[in-house]
Structure 1
């Protein structure tokens, strides 16, 4: 299953993103979530398929969530994830 998705960045929380079907936009995102998310800023559109590599999300899971609920919310990294990133940067490794 392929889908053209649009990704929005939160104005309130660094590294929080909403993935939605580009044709539907933010229509399926609940109003309370949009209020907490802040002003959504579009950062990119891309053709997403399950095998595509994403930096911090599993493409198959993103697609499944969009199909089921109309959006996928990517939360900011936890302190543990940030520490892992920092350590990987020191050694030149990637997740």
Structure 2
């Protein structure tokens, strides 16, 4: 199985995998509207790959087979303030609500 990968023109680090190049017929219209104009990135031999950089290869394969597409969203941004508070042990203190 080969799939085509597209980058979103509206959402940073968001990618769309489809079964056939330039065929977005399985992708809901609302999703395409949010995704923007797809920018072709590459064609992947998805069956031969053992892993992908940011996405679970098995999930990509399953969704391509079941839905005809896979949407890869960027990882959630880390909240540096929460991480710092956790390191200082401040998250364990009771909160004062005014």
Where on the TM-score scale, by shorter chain, does this alignment land: which range? Answer: 0.7 to 0.9
Unaligned runs of 5+ in 1: 84-95
Choose from 16, 19, 35 the match for 2:33. Answer: 35
What TM-score does the superposition give when structure 1 sets the normalisation length? 0.75
Residues 61 and 50 of structure 1, relative CA distance in 2, 3 Å threshold: farther
Residues 24 and 43 of structure 1, relative CA distance in 2, 3 Å threshold: closer
Computing the radius of gyration over CA atoms, which structure comes out larger, 1 or 2? 2
Check conservation: 1:28, 1:70, Cα contact below 8 A.
Answer: yes
- 1:54-69 equivalences under 5 Å are 54-69=52-67
C-alpha RMSD of the superposition: 2.0
What TM-score does the superposition give when structure 2 sets the normalisation length? 0.73
**Structure 1 segments (4+ residues) deviating >4 Å:** none
Q: Say which structure is richer in strand.
A: 1
Number of equivalent positions: 80
CA distance in 2, matches of 1:41, 1:24: 10
Choose from 11, 14, 19 the match for 2:12. Answer: 14
